[in-house]
Amino acid sequence: MSKVFDLFIIGGGINGAGIARDAAGRGLSVCLADKGEIGGATSSWSTKLVHGGLRYLENYEFKLVRESLKEREIVYKIARHISKPIPFIIPYADKIRPAWLIKIGLFLYDNLGGKSNIPKSKTFDLTKKFPNILKEKYKTGFQYFDIQIDDKKLTKLNAKDAKRNNAKILEYNKVNKAEIIGNEWIISLENDEKVKSKILINASGPWINETLIKNIKIKSKKKIRLVKGSHIITKKLYKENVAFTFQNTDKRIIFVIPYKGKFSLIGTTEVEVKSPENKGISKKEIRYLIQSVNNYLKKQIRTKDIVDTYSGIRPLIEDFNTASKVTRDYVFDLKIIKKLPLLNIYGGKLTTYRKLSEKVLIDLRKFLPKTKKGPWTDKKKLF
């Protein structure tokens, strides 16, 4: 146990893997441990969109949407082989949101992120464009584009690139304990190995406070809100390569997205949970998703049409809003304990992982004075 790493990262989800890549590429020595597979938790249970988050505009989250739209452009550029733009149609639904509000939202969505290679939004007649998919009462559609990505692969490619730059990446190796002895963090792993580090980063997603309290033995002032999101997968519901954004009467939205060529991915729900352990979809969530699809599509689906399901737990920062309004932004909580830094990463989205990682390195710069290289991950392709 002689080597002292610059950074030790708990958690190999998209945020941990992204930080490891960025740091290792700057010449820092990095060790990351995950209790499971890299990208095997929340980062493979998402809706798999790199998106600005059109609906966050309704909550006035302009900063988050702007950053996400800029990141959408960059992630599409550096991970083009695992991502593709896909058109989303919002059918106009009477009494849910007025057309003018959707149009203002889409105008902002087209322009907030600056110059873009992704097509702009437009309005068209649904009865001419998709006469066979939607029920006749849906006559007007608003189209915008977002990026569909392989979320797990994105996470794995980040970890792979970190490894290429000499990071030590450990899977199926839980961090049992992290404590300061002398001038270093000593991290005790499940396989009895002990690792030394100057800086500790807690990127354990929905387990963040559990890791902090049980494994690092530090009290957290920041509260996290755990919100389960579930998806159902059916055989392809229509042949056209188009996704739909359905507005529900509770004002929530549901996506129906072409998935892996043969399937449709439908999600998601928002259910508050107490534990980060993933218990999967409930019957109530299944009913909600089916109902939402059946309100819009001519083809009606039933439980027996479901070929698979998955759920994930969103680790959101508590801001005392309702589940669908809680911010998807991220917050850093930097603590100095006995002169050594501990950085806790709260919240975040798949879409913003690269920027989040870059900001981590900026915030830790003063503890790593020998680092010469600046930001680099916006230009180098993932492979």
Ligand X SMILES: Cc1cc2nc3c(=O)[nH]c(=O)nc-3n(C[C@H](O)[C@H](O)[C@H](O)COP(=O)(O)OP(=O)(O)OC[C@H]3O[C@@H](n4cnc5c(N)ncnc54)[C@H](O)[C@@H]3O)c2cc1C
Chain residues that interact with ligand X, rule: CB under 6 A: 10-16, 33-36, 40-43, 45-49, 51, 174-175, 203-207, 211, 215, 229, 268, 312-315, 348-351
Pairwise CA distance, residues 251 & 302, whole Å: 23
Residue nearest to ligand X (CB): 13
Least distance in angstroms from the C-beta of 126 to ligand X: 24
Q: SS3 of 41, please?
A: coil
Residue (of 257, 232, 259) closest to 244 by Cα position: 257
Least distance in angstroms from the C-beta of 139 to ligand X: 28
User: Is the CB of 133 or the CB of 212 nearer to ligand X?
Assistant: 212
User: Is the CB of 35 or the CB of 198 nearer to ligand X?
Assistant: 35
Least distance in angstroms from the C-beta of 179 to ligand X: 14
User: Is the CB of 25 or the CB of 205 nearer to ligand X?
Assistant: 205
Question: Exposure string (b/e) for 75-99, b if CB count within 10 Å is 16 or more?
Answer: bbebbeebbeeebbbbbbbeebbee
Least distance in angstroms from the C-beta of 182 to ligand X: 23
Least distance in angstroms from the C-beta of 329 to ligand X: 10
User: Is the CB of 89 or the CB of 281 nearer to ligand X?
Assistant: 281
User: Is the CB of 126 or the CB of 156 nearer to ligand X?
Assistant: 156
Least distance in angstroms from the C-beta of 42 to ligand X: 3
Least distance in angstroms from the C-beta of 313 to ligand X: 6
User: Is the CB of 30 or the CB of 350 nearer to ligand X?
Assistant: 350
Q: How far is CA 244 from the centre of its chain?
A: 20
Q: Are strands 271-272 and 263-267 parallel, antiparallel or unpaired?
A: unpaired
Residue (of 59, 94, 85) closest to 144 by Cα position: 85
Check: CB of residue 43 under 8 Å from CB of residue 181.
no
Pairwise CA distance, residues 371 & 27, whole Å: 7
User: Is the CB of 25 or the CB of 40 nearer to ligand X?
Assistant: 40
